[in-house]
Amino acid sequence: MQSHIYDTIVIGAGGMGSATAYHLAKSGADVLVLEQFQRGHTFGSSHGETRIIRFFYDKPFYTELMKTAYAEWRDLEAVSGKRLLFITGSVSLGKSGNQYTTAVRQSLDAAGVASEWWDAKQLTERFSQFRVSNDMDILWQKDTGFLYASECVLTHLQLAEQHGTEIQEKTPVGRIDWQADVPTVYTEDNQFRGKKVVVTAGAWTTSLLKELNLPLTVTKQQVCYYIPTIAAERFLPNQFPVFTEITTDNEFMYGIPFFHKKGVKVARHGMGQTVSPNACNRTPDSDYIERMDTYLSERIPELGNTVHAEVCLYTETPDEDFIIDAHPHCPNIFIAAGFSGHGFKFCSLVGRIMSELALAGETAFDINPFRINR
Ligand SMILES: Cc1cc2nc3c(=O)[nH]c(=O)nc-3n(C[C@H](O)[C@H](O)[C@H](O)COP(=O)(O)OP(=O)(O)OC[C@H]3O[C@@H](n4cnc5c(N)ncnc54)[C@H](O)[C@@H]3O)c2cc1C
């Protein structure tokens, strides 16, 4: 066992762990990050180029927290000199009077975030790519956009390293001894001690914290990419918005403009098959691709058919709200997990919260909705 005791050991260098390491290191903490694969790997939840960032939520506490999350992303752009956040505006579509869009509007109003109801004519005048009927709710929100996700993770890690953080890749943690005087983390060849340990292990959280029996389910998720053969520039971020739709079958569809060479990304949130993160079939399913192509043939026919598809993992809680809390049996271990397919936009804030919890034992942000025993 090493005699050195780190201020904080962070387990997992995905979206949440990288942001946590950055915030800790920026505050002067002596940090060790342990990652089972290499940075930027594609086996977890944070790979790929884009993730939607939005204020609009049907639960008001998320909308409120996004005010700080946006500010932290802007701050990261300023500190790194990189463009990470692309604002496009968004349209949220749904059947007229649907509960979700109505609740979203209420959340935005309560938080003082402007939005506008549009009719079908207003939508197609502004974005003629869409085919919509007159009986749809269409909510425009100008601050929505997307994050350059893979670059966000790398940037947080690079900046953490510049502040002295040690990052060990290809170093899986086998177990954490939470009963030791100083929490001790065991890898294949080593043991590391940290005054505090932050677990940001995504889909592998339950296997690392077996003693807690956390209510987490890992599911296989898929995204499709589209490259229109004619006038593809009409789908660039300055000409096409982020969109979401609650379909009549209660599917939550979303799309992100053409970014880099990959194309327009379109996917269905959730409804994925339960899998084990180490034994997930990473081949996209043909019936899923077919469903997405059929959906788009009605909504945005210019996109044509899928040219490429990818697999990613969600780690879901029963209510789809995050877990951000101290370990119930050990006040020196903190957990950030269960981001249920909508966590990336919050990485910048969750990193700050986890660093405050690790360094001060408390945070001014309201994490009550995210307590383990809620
Ligand atoms: C298809 C898809 C689309 C999404 N779209 C959006 C979106 O548009 N907007 C949005 O806000 N969110 C979105 N999300 C959700 C968001 O990407 C996730 O909530 C977020 O990336 C979760 O980050 P994480 O750090 O918890 O997990 P991960 O990024 O998976 O990180 C966990 C890390 O821990 C490491 N690890 C695990 N166990 C160990 C161990 N024992 N030892 C060492 N290392 C370990 C893993 O290797 C991994 O690197 C999407 C997710 C998917 C899959």
The pLDDT value recorded for residue 1 is 65
Q: How far is the CA of 280 from the centre of ligand 1 (A)?
A: 15
What's the confidence (pLDDT) of residue 69? 98
Q: Which atom of ligand 1 is nearest to the CA of 50?
A: 8
How many whole angstroms from 69 Cα to the centroid of ligand 1? Answer: 17
**Quick one: which atom of ligand 1 is closest to the CA of 34?**
43
293-302 per-position pLDDT tens digit: 999 999 999 9
Q: Is the pLDDT of residue 213 over 80?
A: yes
What tens digit of pLDDT does each residue of 75-87 get? 999 999 999 999 9
* 3-state DSSP of 86-137: EECCEEEEEECCCHHHHHHHHHHHHCCCCCEEECHHHHHHHCCCCCCCCCEE
Mean pLDDT of all residues in 359-372: 97
Instruction: Output phi, psi for 184, to 5 deg.
Output: -125, 135
Averaged pLDDT for residues 253-282: 96
Residue nearest to ligand 1 atom 24, measured at CA: 202
User: Separation of 32 CA from ligand 1 center, angstroms?
Assistant: 19
* Measured distance CA(25)–CA(158) in Å, rounded: 11
Ligand 1 centroid to 14 CA: how many Å?
A: 6
- Residue 12 CA to residue 8 CA, distance in Å, equals 13
Q: Any idea which of 35-39, 228-232, 262-266 has the lowest mean pLDDT?
A: 228-232
Asked whether residue 286 carries a pLDDT value surpassing 80, the answer given is yes
- CB of 195 closer than 8 Å to CB of 20: no
Q: Tell me the pTM.
A: 0.98
* Distance from C-alpha of 298 to C-alpha of 253, rounded to nearest angstrom: 13
> Is the pLDDT confidence value at 229 over 90?
no
Mean pLDDT score of the chain:
97
DSSP category for residue 167: E
Q: Which atom of ligand 1 approaches the CA of 203 most closely? A: 30
Give the position, in ligand 1's atom list, of the atom nearest the Cα of 44: 30
- Res 127 pLDDT > 90: yes
What are 157-203's pLDDT values in tens digits?
999 999 999 999 999 999 999 999 999 999 999 999 999 999 999 99
The protein residue with its alpha carbon nearest to ligand 1, atom 20, reads 344
Q: Is 68's pLDDT higher than 80?
A: yes
Find the mean pLDDT for residues 237-258.
97
pLDDT at 2 over 80: no
